A and B are shown apart, each in its own frame.
Chain A
Amino acid sequence: MENTKQTPQEKSTLSNILEQIKIVLVIYGIVIIIHMVSIGSKLPDLAKSTVVSFVMVVIAITLKNVVKKPNLPGFAWATLVSFVLTLPISPIADFIVNAMSAYSFGLVGLPLLAFAGIAVGDQLEVFKKLSWKIVIVSFVVMASTYFGSAAISNIILSLKGMI
Protein backbone atom coordinates (compact mmCIF):
# COMPACT_ATOMS: atom_id res chain seq x y z
CA MET A 1 0.00 0.00 0.00
CA GLU A 2 2.68 2.42 1.04
CA ASN A 3 4.65 1.90 -2.14
CA THR A 4 1.77 2.37 -4.55
CA LYS A 5 0.86 5.60 -2.84
CA GLN A 6 4.34 6.98 -2.77
CA THR A 7 4.99 7.42 -6.46
CA PRO A 8 2.30 9.96 -7.37
CA GLN A 9 2.90 11.82 -4.15
CA GLU A 10 6.62 12.14 -4.80
CA LYS A 11 5.89 13.42 -8.24
CA SER A 12 3.53 16.08 -6.97
CA THR A 13 6.03 17.11 -4.30
CA LEU A 14 8.65 17.63 -6.98
CA SER A 15 6.33 19.59 -9.26
CA ASN A 16 5.22 21.67 -6.28
CA ILE A 17 8.83 22.52 -5.51
CA LEU A 18 9.54 23.41 -9.12
CA GLU A 19 6.47 25.61 -9.42
CA GLN A 20 7.36 27.45 -6.23
CA ILE A 21 10.95 27.94 -7.36
CA LYS A 22 9.76 29.38 -10.67
CA ILE A 23 7.60 31.95 -8.90
CA VAL A 24 10.35 32.80 -6.43
CA LEU A 25 12.60 33.60 -9.39
CA VAL A 26 10.10 36.22 -10.59
CA ILE A 27 9.88 37.62 -7.06
CA TYR A 28 13.67 38.06 -7.11
CA GLY A 29 13.19 40.04 -10.32
CA ILE A 30 10.89 42.40 -8.44
CA VAL A 31 13.33 42.61 -5.53
CA ILE A 32 16.17 43.55 -7.93
CA ILE A 33 14.10 46.25 -9.65
CA ILE A 34 13.07 47.75 -6.31
CA HIS A 35 16.70 47.93 -5.16
CA MET A 36 17.77 49.66 -8.39
CA VAL A 37 14.94 52.19 -8.28
CA SER A 38 15.09 52.85 -4.57
CA ILE A 39 18.77 53.01 -3.65
CA GLY A 40 20.41 52.80 -7.07
CA SER A 41 22.17 49.50 -6.39
CA LYS A 42 24.42 48.15 -9.13
CA LEU A 43 23.21 45.13 -11.04
CA PRO A 44 26.40 43.01 -10.61
CA ASP A 45 26.26 43.40 -6.81
CA LEU A 46 22.58 42.59 -6.80
CA ALA A 47 23.15 39.56 -9.02
CA LYS A 48 25.61 38.14 -6.50
CA SER A 49 23.24 38.64 -3.58
CA THR A 50 20.39 37.18 -5.59
CA VAL A 51 22.22 34.00 -6.53
CA VAL A 52 23.36 33.31 -2.97
CA SER A 53 19.94 34.09 -1.52
CA PHE A 54 18.24 32.00 -4.20
CA VAL A 55 20.35 28.92 -3.48
CA MET A 56 19.37 29.10 0.19
CA VAL A 57 15.70 29.57 -0.75
CA VAL A 58 15.82 26.46 -2.95
CA ILE A 59 17.12 24.49 0.05
CA ALA A 60 14.41 25.98 2.27
CA ILE A 61 11.59 25.26 -0.20
CA THR A 62 12.81 21.69 -0.59
CA LEU A 63 12.93 21.20 3.17
CA LYS A 64 9.46 22.70 3.58
CA ASN A 65 7.98 20.32 1.00
CA VAL A 66 9.83 17.22 2.13
CA VAL A 67 10.04 17.48 5.92
CA LYS A 68 6.54 17.08 7.36
CA LYS A 69 7.56 16.72 10.96
CA PRO A 70 8.07 19.24 12.48
CA ASN A 71 5.63 21.05 10.21
CA LEU A 72 7.25 24.49 10.20
CA PRO A 73 6.14 27.42 8.04
CA GLY A 74 8.32 28.13 4.99
CA PHE A 75 9.43 31.39 6.53
CA ALA A 76 10.87 29.52 9.51
CA TRP A 77 12.71 27.08 7.24
CA ALA A 78 14.26 29.96 5.32
CA THR A 79 15.38 31.64 8.54
CA LEU A 80 16.78 28.36 9.85
CA VAL A 81 18.75 27.59 6.67
CA SER A 82 20.42 31.00 6.49
CA PHE A 83 20.87 31.08 10.27
CA VAL A 84 22.74 27.78 10.33
CA LEU A 85 24.82 28.60 7.25
CA THR A 86 25.97 31.92 8.74
CA LEU A 87 26.82 30.64 12.22
CA PRO A 88 30.40 31.48 13.22
CA ILE A 89 31.41 27.81 12.83
CA SER A 90 30.21 27.71 9.22
CA PRO A 91 33.11 27.93 6.75
CA ILE A 92 30.95 29.83 4.24
CA ALA A 93 29.48 32.30 6.75
CA ASP A 94 31.69 35.22 5.69
CA PHE A 95 31.15 34.50 2.03
CA ILE A 96 27.37 34.51 2.44
CA VAL A 97 27.23 37.66 4.55
CA ASN A 98 29.53 39.54 2.14
CA ALA A 99 27.71 38.32 -0.94
CA MET A 100 24.36 39.35 0.52
CA SER A 101 25.50 42.89 1.33
CA ALA A 102 23.70 44.44 -1.66
CA TYR A 103 20.34 43.37 -0.27
CA SER A 104 18.50 45.66 2.08
CA PHE A 105 16.14 43.97 4.53
CA GLY A 106 13.40 46.57 4.18
CA LEU A 107 13.37 46.38 0.38
CA VAL A 108 13.25 42.58 0.27
CA GLY A 109 10.13 42.73 2.43
CA LEU A 110 8.41 45.38 0.32
CA PRO A 111 6.72 43.17 -2.33
CA LEU A 112 5.43 41.03 0.52
CA LEU A 113 3.46 43.96 1.86
CA ALA A 114 2.05 44.63 -1.62
CA PHE A 115 0.80 41.04 -1.80
CA ALA A 116 -0.54 41.30 1.74
CA GLY A 117 -2.46 44.41 0.70
CA ILE A 118 -3.88 42.78 -2.42
CA ALA A 119 -4.86 39.67 -0.43
CA VAL A 120 -6.96 41.86 1.86
CA GLY A 121 -9.44 42.26 -1.01
CA ASP A 122 -10.63 38.74 -0.30
CA GLN A 123 -11.36 39.49 3.33
CA LEU A 124 -13.13 42.82 2.82
CA GLU A 125 -16.57 41.31 2.12
CA VAL A 126 -16.39 39.13 5.23
CA PHE A 127 -14.90 41.99 7.17
CA LYS A 128 -17.95 44.17 6.46
CA LYS A 129 -20.11 41.54 8.16
CA LEU A 130 -17.97 41.50 11.31
CA SER A 131 -19.26 43.12 14.43
CA TRP A 132 -17.41 46.31 15.37
CA LYS A 133 -16.97 44.75 18.79
CA ILE A 134 -14.64 41.98 17.63
CA VAL A 135 -12.67 44.55 15.57
CA ILE A 136 -12.01 46.65 18.66
CA VAL A 137 -11.15 43.51 20.63
CA SER A 138 -8.73 42.40 17.88
CA PHE A 139 -6.85 45.70 18.11
CA VAL A 140 -6.43 45.21 21.84
CA VAL A 141 -5.27 41.63 21.16
CA MET A 142 -2.63 42.79 18.67
CA ALA A 143 -1.33 45.56 20.93
CA SER A 144 -1.31 43.27 24.01
CA THR A 145 0.85 40.51 22.58
CA TYR A 146 3.33 43.07 21.25
CA PHE A 147 3.63 45.27 24.32
CA GLY A 148 3.29 42.28 26.66
CA SER A 149 6.29 40.56 25.10
CA ALA A 150 8.20 43.83 24.91
CA ALA A 151 7.60 44.53 28.61
CA ILE A 152 8.95 41.10 29.62
CA SER A 153 12.02 41.50 27.36
CA ASN A 154 12.66 45.02 28.58
CA ILE A 155 12.63 43.94 32.24
CA ILE A 156 14.89 40.92 31.72
CA LEU A 157 17.32 42.77 29.44
CA SER A 158 17.72 45.59 31.92
CA LEU A 159 18.05 43.13 34.85
CA LYS A 160 20.89 41.48 32.96
CA GLY A 161 22.34 44.90 32.20
CA MET A 162 22.17 44.29 28.47
CA ILE A 163 20.42 47.56 27.67
Chain B
Amino acid sequence: MKERTGTVNCMIASIIICIIAELIGPLQFKVMGIDVKILTMIWVIIMGILLSPTLLGKVIPPLKKFISKAEIKRAPFLLSLTLYPLGIMFGINAGPKVGIVLQAGPALLFQEAGNMMTMLIALPLGLLLGLGRSAVGGTFSLCRDTALGIIGDKYGLESREGMGTLGTYISGSVFGTLFYSFLAPIGLAIGFHPYALAMASGMGSASMMNAATAALTNAAAPMYSEQILAYSATSGLLTAVTGVYVEMFLALPLANWYYNRVNPGIEKLRAKLFKKASEEA
Protein backbone atom coordinates (compact mmCIF):
# COMPACT_ATOMS: atom_id res chain seq x y z
CA MET B 1 0.00 0.00 0.00
CA LYS B 2 1.18 3.44 -0.81
CA GLU B 3 1.84 5.73 2.09
CA ARG B 4 -0.76 8.43 2.46
CA THR B 5 0.91 11.79 1.91
CA GLY B 6 -2.25 13.87 2.18
CA THR B 7 -1.73 15.45 -1.23
CA VAL B 8 -4.91 14.10 -2.84
CA ASN B 9 -7.31 15.05 -0.05
CA CYS B 10 -5.72 18.48 0.29
CA MET B 11 -6.24 19.12 -3.42
CA ILE B 12 -9.86 17.96 -3.29
CA ALA B 13 -10.51 20.10 -0.21
CA SER B 14 -8.94 23.09 -1.94
CA ILE B 15 -11.16 22.73 -5.05
CA ILE B 16 -14.31 22.35 -2.96
CA ILE B 17 -13.44 25.27 -0.70
CA CYS B 18 -12.67 27.58 -3.63
CA ILE B 19 -15.85 26.66 -5.51
CA ILE B 20 -18.07 27.14 -2.45
CA ALA B 21 -16.37 30.47 -1.78
CA GLU B 22 -16.94 31.58 -5.39
CA LEU B 23 -20.60 30.57 -5.11
CA ILE B 24 -21.01 32.65 -1.94
CA GLY B 25 -19.10 35.48 -3.57
CA PRO B 26 -18.19 38.78 -1.96
CA LEU B 27 -20.53 40.07 0.69
CA GLN B 28 -21.18 43.74 1.25
CA PHE B 29 -23.04 45.30 4.14
CA LYS B 30 -23.05 48.38 6.29
CA VAL B 31 -22.05 48.53 9.92
CA MET B 32 -22.76 51.91 11.49
CA GLY B 33 -22.60 53.61 8.13
CA ILE B 34 -19.26 52.02 7.17
CA ASP B 35 -19.19 49.75 4.12
CA VAL B 36 -17.83 46.36 5.03
CA LYS B 37 -16.85 44.09 2.17
CA ILE B 38 -16.11 40.45 2.88
CA LEU B 39 -14.08 39.22 -0.08
CA THR B 40 -14.35 35.77 -1.63
CA MET B 41 -10.79 35.06 -0.52
CA ILE B 42 -11.78 35.53 3.11
CA TRP B 43 -14.31 32.67 2.82
CA VAL B 44 -11.52 30.50 1.44
CA ILE B 45 -9.21 31.18 4.40
CA ILE B 46 -11.99 30.71 6.96
CA MET B 47 -13.20 27.44 5.44
CA GLY B 48 -9.63 26.15 5.26
CA ILE B 49 -9.11 26.86 8.95
CA LEU B 50 -12.48 25.36 9.90
CA LEU B 51 -11.53 22.06 8.24
CA SER B 52 -8.99 21.49 11.01
CA PRO B 53 -9.58 18.23 12.95
CA THR B 54 -9.72 20.25 16.15
CA LEU B 55 -12.51 22.52 14.85
CA LEU B 56 -15.18 21.16 12.45
CA GLY B 57 -13.49 17.75 12.62
CA LYS B 58 -14.66 17.52 16.22
CA VAL B 59 -18.29 18.05 15.22
CA ILE B 60 -18.27 15.98 12.02
CA PRO B 61 -16.13 12.85 12.61
CA PRO B 62 -15.85 11.75 8.93
CA LEU B 63 -14.18 15.09 8.22
CA LYS B 64 -11.44 14.13 10.65
CA LYS B 65 -10.61 11.20 8.39
CA PHE B 66 -10.67 13.35 5.26
CA ILE B 67 -8.48 16.12 6.65
CA SER B 68 -6.21 14.33 9.11
CA LYS B 69 -2.74 15.01 10.47
CA ALA B 70 -1.25 13.87 7.14
CA GLU B 71 -3.17 16.50 5.16
CA ILE B 72 -2.31 19.26 7.58
CA LYS B 73 1.37 18.35 7.52
CA ARG B 74 1.26 18.33 3.71
CA ALA B 75 -0.52 21.67 3.26
CA PRO B 76 2.52 23.94 3.77
CA PHE B 77 4.42 22.04 1.07
CA LEU B 78 1.50 22.38 -1.36
CA LEU B 79 1.26 26.03 -0.43
CA SER B 80 4.92 26.56 -1.29
CA LEU B 81 4.32 25.03 -4.73
CA THR B 82 1.19 27.13 -5.39
CA LEU B 83 3.46 30.12 -4.89
CA TYR B 84 5.17 29.36 -8.22
CA PRO B 85 2.18 30.04 -10.51
CA LEU B 86 1.36 33.03 -8.32
CA GLY B 87 4.90 34.39 -8.55
CA ILE B 88 4.57 34.19 -12.36
CA MET B 89 1.47 36.40 -12.15
CA PHE B 90 3.37 39.00 -10.14
CA GLY B 91 6.34 38.92 -12.50
CA ILE B 92 4.41 39.37 -15.75
CA ASN B 93 2.78 42.45 -14.26
CA ALA B 94 6.10 43.97 -13.26
CA GLY B 95 8.29 43.13 -16.27
CA PRO B 96 6.50 45.19 -18.93
CA LYS B 97 6.24 48.09 -16.46
CA VAL B 98 9.91 48.14 -15.55
CA GLY B 99 10.11 51.83 -16.49
CA ILE B 100 7.46 52.84 -13.99
CA VAL B 101 8.97 50.56 -11.39
CA LEU B 102 12.43 52.13 -11.83
CA GLN B 103 10.90 55.58 -11.61
CA ALA B 104 9.44 54.54 -8.27
CA GLY B 105 12.80 53.05 -7.28
CA PRO B 106 13.60 55.40 -4.39
CA ALA B 107 10.18 54.84 -2.81
CA LEU B 108 10.49 51.09 -3.26
CA LEU B 109 13.97 51.02 -1.72
CA PHE B 110 13.27 53.26 1.24
CA GLN B 111 10.00 51.55 2.14
CA GLU B 112 12.07 48.45 2.92
CA ALA B 113 13.08 50.34 6.07
CA GLY B 114 9.42 50.20 7.05
CA ASN B 115 9.91 46.49 7.68
CA MET B 116 11.96 47.50 10.71
CA MET B 117 9.08 49.50 12.16
CA THR B 118 7.61 46.27 13.52
CA MET B 119 9.31 47.07 16.84
CA LEU B 120 8.47 50.77 17.07
CA ILE B 121 5.24 50.37 19.07
CA ALA B 122 5.15 46.62 19.56
CA LEU B 123 8.40 46.35 21.55
CA PRO B 124 7.47 48.88 24.27
CA LEU B 125 3.99 47.40 24.34
CA GLY B 126 5.41 43.90 24.82
CA LEU B 127 7.66 45.15 27.63
CA LEU B 128 4.74 46.90 29.28
CA LEU B 129 2.80 43.64 29.16
CA GLY B 130 5.72 41.94 30.90
CA LEU B 131 7.14 39.91 28.01
CA GLY B 132 10.71 40.96 28.82
CA ARG B 133 13.34 39.68 26.38
CA SER B 134 10.61 37.81 24.48
CA ALA B 135 9.51 41.20 23.22
CA VAL B 136 12.82 41.56 21.36
CA GLY B 137 12.43 38.21 19.59
CA GLY B 138 8.76 38.75 18.85
CA THR B 139 8.98 42.25 17.41
CA PHE B 140 12.33 42.64 15.63
CA SER B 141 10.70 41.53 12.37
CA LEU B 142 7.53 39.96 11.03
CA CYS B 143 9.08 36.70 12.31
CA ARG B 144 8.76 34.41 9.31
CA ASP B 145 11.02 31.46 8.58
CA THR B 146 14.23 33.46 8.14
CA ALA B 147 13.72 35.12 11.52
CA LEU B 148 13.30 31.71 13.16
CA GLY B 149 16.66 30.74 11.67
CA ILE B 150 18.42 33.90 12.84
CA ILE B 151 17.05 33.82 16.40
CA GLY B 152 17.51 30.06 16.60
CA ASP B 153 21.17 30.52 15.69
CA LYS B 154 21.85 33.37 18.03
CA TYR B 155 19.76 32.64 21.11
CA GLY B 156 18.19 29.21 20.48
CA LEU B 157 14.46 28.78 20.01
CA GLU B 158 14.12 27.65 23.66
CA SER B 159 15.36 31.01 24.94
CA ARG B 160 13.13 33.92 25.97
CA GLU B 161 13.92 35.61 22.65
CA GLY B 162 13.12 32.42 20.76
CA MET B 163 9.77 32.06 22.52
CA GLY B 164 8.87 35.55 21.38
CA THR B 165 9.83 34.89 17.76
CA LEU B 166 7.91 31.60 17.77
CA GLY B 167 4.91 33.37 19.28
CA THR B 168 4.71 36.00 16.56
CA TYR B 169 5.47 33.32 13.96
CA ILE B 170 2.57 31.11 15.05
CA SER B 171 0.15 33.97 15.56
CA GLY B 172 1.09 35.24 12.10
CA SER B 173 0.53 31.81 10.56
CA VAL B 174 -2.92 31.59 12.13
CA PHE B 175 -4.13 35.15 11.58
CA GLY B 176 -1.75 36.67 8.99
CA THR B 177 -3.64 36.18 5.73
CA LEU B 178 -6.98 37.03 7.35
CA PHE B 179 -5.53 40.07 9.10
CA TYR B 180 -4.01 41.54 5.94
CA SER B 181 -7.21 40.93 3.95
CA PHE B 182 -8.84 43.44 6.26
CA LEU B 183 -5.86 45.72 6.74
CA ALA B 184 -5.50 46.63 3.05
CA PRO B 185 -8.99 48.18 2.70
CA ILE B 186 -8.52 49.89 6.07
CA GLY B 187 -5.28 51.42 4.76
CA LEU B 188 -7.18 52.86 1.80
CA ALA B 189 -9.87 54.21 4.12
CA ILE B 190 -7.23 55.92 6.29
CA GLY B 191 -6.02 57.75 3.18
CA PHE B 192 -2.99 55.82 1.95
CA HIS B 193 -2.56 55.78 -1.83
CA PRO B 194 -3.08 52.32 -3.39
CA TYR B 195 0.48 52.42 -4.77
CA ALA B 196 1.95 53.10 -1.33
CA LEU B 197 0.05 50.15 0.13
CA ALA B 198 1.14 48.01 -2.83
CA MET B 199 4.77 48.80 -2.07
CA ALA B 200 4.17 47.92 1.58
CA SER B 201 2.85 44.45 0.68
CA GLY B 202 6.25 42.78 0.35
CA MET B 203 6.86 42.06 3.99
CA GLY B 204 8.65 38.72 4.01
CA SER B 205 5.73 36.32 3.75
CA ALA B 206 4.48 35.43 0.30
CA SER B 207 1.05 34.28 1.45
CA MET B 208 0.49 37.42 3.51
CA MET B 209 1.71 39.48 0.55
CA ASN B 210 -0.77 37.71 -1.70
CA ALA B 211 -3.62 38.32 0.73
CA ALA B 212 -2.74 41.99 1.13
CA THR B 213 -2.33 42.54 -2.63
CA ALA B 214 -5.51 40.68 -3.60
CA ALA B 215 -7.54 42.57 -1.00
CA LEU B 216 -6.00 45.83 -2.20
CA THR B 217 -6.80 45.26 -5.90
CA ASN B 218 -10.35 44.36 -4.86
CA ALA B 219 -10.80 47.46 -2.76
CA ALA B 220 -9.03 50.04 -4.95
CA ALA B 221 -10.38 51.45 -8.21
CA PRO B 222 -9.80 49.04 -11.15
CA MET B 223 -7.54 51.55 -12.94
CA TYR B 224 -4.87 51.00 -10.26
CA SER B 225 -4.85 47.19 -10.45
CA GLU B 226 -1.98 46.56 -12.85
CA GLN B 227 0.36 49.02 -11.23
CA ILE B 228 -0.51 47.67 -7.78
CA LEU B 229 0.68 44.25 -8.93
CA ALA B 230 3.86 45.70 -10.43
CA TYR B 231 4.83 47.56 -7.24
CA SER B 232 3.81 44.71 -5.01
CA ALA B 233 5.86 42.25 -7.06
CA THR B 234 8.99 44.43 -6.87
CA SER B 235 8.58 45.02 -3.17
CA GLY B 236 8.18 41.28 -2.62
CA LEU B 237 11.32 40.58 -4.63
CA LEU B 238 13.33 43.22 -2.78
CA THR B 239 12.31 41.80 0.59
CA ALA B 240 13.08 38.27 -0.56
CA VAL B 241 16.60 39.31 -1.56
CA THR B 242 17.46 41.75 1.24
CA GLY B 243 15.15 40.56 4.03
CA VAL B 244 17.44 38.14 5.80
CA TYR B 245 20.38 40.58 5.85
CA VAL B 246 18.24 43.46 7.07
CA GLU B 247 16.91 41.23 9.84
CA MET B 248 20.31 39.95 10.87
CA PHE B 249 22.51 43.04 10.61
CA LEU B 250 20.06 45.92 11.11
CA ALA B 251 16.74 44.90 12.68
CA LEU B 252 18.02 42.64 15.47
CA PRO B 253 20.79 45.00 16.68
CA LEU B 254 18.31 47.86 16.45
CA ALA B 255 15.77 45.94 18.53
CA ASN B 256 18.41 45.22 21.18
CA TRP B 257 19.49 48.85 21.26
CA TYR B 258 15.86 49.95 21.48
CA TYR B 259 15.25 47.41 24.26
CA ASN B 260 18.14 48.78 26.32
CA ARG B 261 16.83 52.29 25.80
CA VAL B 262 13.19 51.81 26.74
CA ASN B 263 13.31 48.86 29.14
CA PRO B 264 14.54 50.71 32.29
CA GLY B 265 11.77 53.30 31.97
CA ILE B 266 9.12 50.71 31.34
CA GLU B 267 10.40 48.56 34.24
CA LYS B 268 10.02 51.56 36.54
CA LEU B 269 6.56 52.24 35.18
CA ARG B 270 5.56 48.62 35.71
CA ALA B 271 6.92 48.67 39.25
CA LYS B 272 4.90 51.79 39.96
CA LEU B 273 1.74 50.35 38.42
CA PHE B 274 2.02 47.09 40.29
CA LYS B 275 2.85 48.80 43.56
CA LYS B 276 -0.21 50.93 43.10
CA ALA B 277 -2.29 47.85 42.33
CA SER B 278 -1.03 46.02 45.42
CA GLU B 279 -1.65 49.06 47.61
CA GLU B 280 -5.19 49.27 46.37
CA ALA B 281 -5.71 45.59 47.05
**Is this pair of chains taken from one and the same complex?**
yes
- Shortest distance between the CB of A27 and any CB in chain B (Å): 5
| Contact call A34/B18, Cβ cutoff below 8 A | yes
Residue in A closest to B106 when the chains form the complex, CB atoms: A156
A30-B11, A34-B18 given as contacts; is B54 within 8 A of A121 (CB)? yes
A150-B200, A152-B114 given as contacts; is B75 within 8 A of A119 (CB)? yes
Contact-residue size bin, chain B (C-beta under 8 Å from the other chain): 35 or more
| Contact call A149/B115, Cβ cutoff below 8 A | yes
Docked pose: A153 CA to B211 CA in angstroms: 19
Docked pose: A100 CA to B226 CA in angstroms: 14
| Contact call A121/B179, Cβ cutoff below 8 A | no
Q: Does B265 interact with chain A (Cβ within 8 Å)?
A: no
Residue in A closest to B98 when the chains form the complex, CB atoms: A87
Number of A-B contacts (CB under 8 A): 413
| Contact call B47/A75, Cβ cutoff below 8 A | no
| Contact call B75/A142, Cβ cutoff below 8 A | no
Binds A, one of B29-37, B117-125, B256-264, B273-281: B117-125
Other-chain residue from A85, A93, A106, A124 in contact with B55 (beta carbon distance below 8 A) = A124
A75-B240, A112-B82, A137-B139 given as contacts; is B75 within 8 A of A118 (CB)? yes
Count A-side interface residues using an 8 Å CB cutoff: 93
Interface of B is mostly: helix
Residues of chain B in range 196-211 having any CB-CB distance to chain A below 8 Å = 196-197, 199-201, 203, 206-208, 210-211
| Contact call B236/A76, Cβ cutoff below 8 A | yes
Docked pose: A33 CA to B20 CA in angstroms: 12
Other-chain residue from A28, A79, A118, A143 in contact with B10 (beta carbon distance below 8 A) = A118
Q: Does B113 interact with chain A (Cβ within 8 Å)?
A: yes
Residues of chain B in range 44-99 having any CB-CB distance to chain A below 8 Å = 44-55, 67, 71-73, 75-76, 78-96, 98-99
| Contact call B237/A76, Cβ cutoff below 8 A | yes
- Shortest distance between the CB of A129 and any CB in chain B (Å): 9
Other-chain residue from A87, A111, A127 in contact with B14 (beta carbon distance below 8 A) = A111
Q: Does A91 interact with chain B (Cβ within 8 Å)?
A: no
- Shortest distance between the CB of A49 and any CB in chain B (Å): 10
Known: A134-B126, A137-B131, A160-B107. 4 other contacts (CB 8 A): A131-B131, A134-B171, A143-B183, A152-B107
A-B contact pairs, 14 of them (CB 8 A): A23-B78, A34-B19, A37-B18, A57-B84, A75-B236, A79-B233, A93-B95, A100-B88, A113-B44, A138-B168, A141-B142, A146-B180, A154-B196, A163-B193
Which residues of B approach A to under 8 Å, CB–CB? 7, 10-11, 13-15, 17-19, 21-23, 40-41, 44-55, 67, 71-73, 75-76, 78-96, 98-99, 103-104, 106-108, 110-122, 125-126, 129-131, 134-135, 138-139, 141-143, 164, 167-168, 170-177, 179-180, 183, 187, 190, 192-193, 195-197, 199-201, 203, 206-208, 210-214, 217-218, 229, 233, 235-237, 240-241
